[in-house]
Chain A
Amino acid sequence: MKNSPAFVIGAGAILFAALAFVPFYVDGYGLALAIGIASYTILATAWALFSGPTRYISLATVAFFGVGAYTVAVLGEVLPWPLVMLVAAINGMLLALVVGLSTLRLAGIYFVIFTFGLTELIKQLVTWYEVKITRTVGRYVFLDIDQQTIYWQLLALAAILFLVGYLIGRSRLGFALRIIGGDETVARHVGIDTTHAKVALFVLSALFMTLTGAIMAPRWTYIDPAIAFNPQVSFQAVIMALLGGVQRLWGPVLGVIPMTLLFEYLNANFPNYFILILGIVFMLIVYLLPQGVAGAVSSLRAWSRRDGKSVEEAR
């Protein structure tokens, strides 16, 4: 925070410019890995953008991601690419607006489960629509967008996300959100329109998730509801963000990179025990490095201390 905005933005711009050269130095797998890291960086960072300050754990990431992917599947061969992206963005934001307005009064686990249920509901409805109306489930996306272009699009989106995140952190909205995160009642008492602030952030975060889905869709040639709305994506984004820490804008990246590399390492060396070892590693992280994973709750701790509820409930 002590650095001047011009310096931070300038440094960020240089970093992203440098990352743009990655495709020229790596092979196909390296690029695939870079795409994986870039896409989860956006998802996890966008997730933390909303969930970090508000402490709402959303499992709806893939709902927006899937809406983006499906928009491309439906319109990809009909409209020019920028227009497809625009439609995807509008779809995602509209959905986020409806969801945000109707659910943000739910708290805690209820919000978690609601967002999960919502994703499943959307998946079911898309399937039903395809079956009944278009009489085909599974769409073919034959777009000639090569891997480098996908990477650059993701990188550009990530750059915008970080810029937006940085500016929000310095804005009145960011300040308001930190107060809401600290104590919503207090926030309301000092005259913050908490609902508007939260919904605005939710929609913004959803926008980036939707666009990530839209950019990634051409990679898979074939999209069906199970592929587009795979709940694993939501879980993975949450886990990565929590591992990295959601209190800083750059926190989630620190979860995304090691987790992606860990997944790759385990998959290459223990393809038959991948899940088992992943589980053990996961447990070890939770137990041995509580600070690493507890990033998500560090604000909760601060809050609970201030709140005078620091007596360990379950003790």
Chain B
Amino acid sequence: MKNLSKLRLSYALCAASLALIAASPALSQESVRIGYVVSKTGANAGGATTSTIPNYELWVHEINEAGGIQVGDQKLKIEVVEYDDRSSSEEAVRAVERLATQDKVDFILTPWGTGNNLAVGPIFDKYGYPQIAGTSVTDRAPDLAKRWPNSYWLLGTGGSYAEGFVDLLVKLREEGKIGDEVAMASIADGFGIELSTAGRTALQENGFKLVYDQTYPLGTQDLAPIVNEVKALNPDVFIAFSYPPDTLGLTDQARVLGFNPKIFYTGVATAFPLYKDRFKDAANGVVSLGGIDPNDEKVKAYIAKHKEVTGKEPDRWASFMTYAGLQALQQSIEQSGTLDKEKVSEVLRTGTFDTVLGNISFDNENRQVPNIFTVGQWQDGEFVGLVPTDKEGSGELVFPKPEWPAAQ
């Protein structure tokens, strides 16, 4: 008896859902349909809300404000179809399939993070959508570019970040500023391990001594034991390939416990505006991934516009790659004068684009942006790019790291 009403409920729900799904909006001819799937909720939401979503919104806002994208002889406004992948690979895969086959969008923007970009890679490839990933650090980027010819990996490989930083250390040691002892802690997740593995190899090749080399799991709340132990070893250099909550936690503990090595390096979120807001002057001298040229007019304009439209500043790393990727997409649509994916991809592969990262081209084997800043440092309220040192606009390292100011 009881099962009967249960049955009825299920059928009713089922029918209702079907009816509602059938009522999806009809295709519009007067606009460019852009779809994206990002983690609005779940474990990835913190990253996606910082680097990905605001840039997508900014880009769409800017284009529509200017009357649309120039496609051939008409200006088409952007119509957005968005889904939440709830930080799950399976949901991301399904939603991208949906964008491609149900919503039939013209272009699909990429999800946040390495895992989800890899998960949706085959779908982008199957339907011929260019995949311009701005938040994916993977050592397999060159392989992936080969496997999926329409994929672009703007954030580069983990190795490039670790090696760029070790080069900087080698130079400091040559100048007699630091010794051999380095302490390293990393998050036990793809990003942290990829970077620490590359970093360990580079450090050992260059004769550095790793006095501390440990990982800690995702979700670690107490970072005091790590900082305490490292402090007792008193190394000249501390490296943490960390994620946002632990980046803040490690910095916090280092300050409270008075651990002030000559070089203090923390991972993801150091380049976030959150870090500057949180630590103010104490952020000065902290080194991390990414960086910008604060005197570049395009960079300044982008930061100002980002703040105006989304109400907050962009982070000084992945936001720039994400936005540059969007600019490249826009320009290749305009240059090819069509919404045909094949033709746009052709331009994307071979053309040169004027972006917030400067003039960039993906015309290389790995389809990455060569010569992006891999190491930066907070200097008086701005996260200045340092390495590669020969890159235009690169800053000088402030050394040694200034004392932590007294806590407020």
A-to-B contact residues, CB < 8 Å: 27-33, 35-36, 124, 127-128, 130-131, 135-138, 140, 142, 216, 219-222, 224, 226-227, 230, 232, 243-245, 247-248, 251, 254-255, 257-259, 261-262, 264-265, 267-269, 271-272, 274-275, 285, 289, 291-292, 294-295, 298
Indicate which residue in B82, B121, B189 contacts A224 across the interface (CB closer than 8 Å): B189
| A274→B119 contact, CB < 8 A | no
Q: Which of B58-66, B83-91, B268-276 contacts A (4 or more CB under 8 A)?
A: B83-91
| B10→A27 contact, CB < 8 A | no
Which chain A residue has the least Cβ–Cβ distance from B216?
A: A131
**B149: Cβ under 8 A from any A Cβ:** no
Residues of A within 8 A of B40 (CB): 271-272, 274
| A136→B194 contact, CB < 8 A | yes
Bound-state CA distance A269–B14 (Å) is 17
Residues of A within 8 A of B3 (CB): 245, 247-248, 251, 295, 298
Size of interface on B: residues with Cβ below 8 Å to A:
55
| B118→A135 contact, CB < 8 A | no
Bound-state CA distance A140–B115 (Å) is 10
Bound-state CA distance A35–B98 (Å) is 13
Bound-state CA distance A257–B10 (Å) is 8
The 5 closest A-B pairs by CB, nearest first: A138-B190, A261-B17, A222-B118, A258-B13, A292-B9
Residues 76-101 of chain B, each 1 if its beta carbon lies under 8 Å from chain A, else 0: 00000011101011110111011011
Given A261-B13, A261-B18, A298-B3, 15 new contacts (CB under 8 A): A27-B101, A32-B93, A127-B188, A127-B189, A220-B119, A221-B122, A226-B43, A226-B115, A232-B88, A245-B6, A258-B13, A261-B17, A272-B84, A291-B2, A292-B9
Indicate which residue in B7, B17, B89, B94 contacts A29 across the interface (CB closer than 8 Å): B94
Bound-state CA distance A264–B42 (Å) is 17
| B41→A275 contact, CB < 8 A | yes
| B2→A298 contact, CB < 8 A | yes
8 Å CB contacts to A: which residues of B32-62? 40-43
Taking the closest CB of chain A, its distance from the CB of B278, in whole angstroms, is 25
Q: Which of B2, B192, B217 has the most CB of A within 10 A?
A: B2
A-B residue pairs in contact (CB < 8 Å), sample of 15? A29-B97, A32-B93, A32-B97, A131-B193, A138-B115, A222-B89, A222-B114, A226-B218, A245-B6, A267-B83, A267-B95, A268-B98, A272-B40, A275-B41, A289-B5
Taking the closest CB of chain A, its distance from the CB of B372, in whole angstroms, is 22
Residues of A within 8 A of B9 (CB): 285, 289, 291-292
**B147: Cβ under 8 A from any A Cβ:** yes
Bound-state CA distance A298–B147 (Å) is 53
Bound-state CA distance A131–B187 (Å) is 10
**B126: Cβ under 8 A from any A Cβ:** yes
Bound-state CA distance A126–B278 (Å) is 34
Taking the closest CB of chain A, its distance from the CB of B361, in whole angstroms, is 27
Taking the closest CB of chain A, its distance from the CB of B148, in whole angstroms, is 10
Which chain B residue has the least Cβ–Cβ distance from A222?
A: B118
**B295: Cβ under 8 A from any A Cβ:** no
Bound-state CA distance A128–B21 (Å) is 43
Bound-state CA distance A277–B215 (Å) is 39
Q: Which of A35, A259, A292 has the most CB of B within 10 A?
A: A292
Residues of A within 8 A of B41 (CB): 274-275
Residues of B within 8 A of A137 (CB): 188-190, 192-193
Indicate which residue in A28, A124, A232 contacts B101 across the interface (CB closer than 8 Å): A28
**B24: Cβ under 8 A from any A Cβ:** yes
Bound-state CA distance A131–B10 (Å) is 45
Taking the closest CB of chain B, its distance from the CB of A34, in whole angstroms, is 10
Bound-state CA distance A227–B117 (Å) is 13
| B97→A227 contact, CB < 8 A | no
**B364: Cβ under 8 A from any A Cβ:** no
8 Å CB contacts to A: which residues of B188-205? 188-190, 192-194, 197
| A295→B6 contact, CB < 8 A | yes
Residues of A within 8 A of B407 (CB): none
Bound-state CA distance A142–B148 (Å) is 12
| A221→B118 contact, CB < 8 A | yes
| B127→A28 contact, CB < 8 A | yes
| B114→A131 contact, CB < 8 A | no
| A28→B126 contact, CB < 8 A | yes
Bound-state CA distance A214–B153 (Å) is 28
| A254→B193 contact, CB < 8 A | no
Residues of A within 8 A of B91 (CB): 267
**B173: Cβ under 8 A from any A Cβ:** no
Residues of B within 8 A of A232 (CB): 42, 86, 88
Indicate which residue in A221, A265, A294 contacts B20 across the interface (CB closer than 8 Å): A265
Residues of A within 8 A of B123 (CB): 28
Bound-state CA distance A227–B114 (Å) is 12
Residues of A within 8 A of B90 (CB): 36, 216, 219-220
Residues of B within 8 A of A262 (CB): 13, 17
Which chain A residue has the least Cβ–Cβ distance from B120?
A: A221
Bound-state CA distance A255–B121 (Å) is 31
Residues of B within 8 A of A271 (CB): 40, 82-84
Knowing A28-B127, A131-B193, A138-B190 touch, does A222 contact B97 (C-beta < 8 A)? Answer: no
Knowing A140-B140, A222-B114 touch, does A27 contact B102 (C-beta < 8 A)? Answer: yes
Bound-state CA distance A128–B41 (Å) is 26
Residues of B within 8 A of A272 (CB): 40, 84
Indicate which residue in B17, B121, B147, B197 contacts A265 across the interface (CB closer than 8 Å): B17
Knowing A216-B90, A245-B3 touch, does A268 contact B197 (C-beta < 8 A)? Answer: no
Residues of A within 8 A of B82 (CB): 271
Bound-state CA distance A220–B93 (Å) is 7
Which chain B residue has the least Cβ–Cβ distance from A289?
A: B9
| A28→B188 contact, CB < 8 A | no
Taking the closest CB of chain B, its distance from the CB of A68, in whole angstroms, is 14
Taking the closest CB of chain B, its distance from the CB of A295, in whole angstroms, is 6
Indicate which residue in A130, A142, A230, A257 contacts B88 across the interface (CB closer than 8 Å): A230
Taking the closest CB of chain B, its distance from the CB of A216, in whole angstroms, is 7
Bound-state CA distance A244–B7 (Å) is 8
Taking the closest CB of chain B, its distance from the CB of A55, in whole angstroms, is 16
Residues 204-220 of chain B, each 1 if its beta carbon lies under 8 Å from chain A, else 0: 00000000000101100
Residues of B within 8 A of A292 (CB): 5-6, 9-10
Indicate which residue in B97, B119, B188 contacts A221 across the interface (CB closer than 8 Å): B119
Bound-state CA distance A251–B102 (Å) is 30
Bound-state CA distance A314–B226 (Å) is 47
Bound-state CA distance A27–B88 (Å) is 22
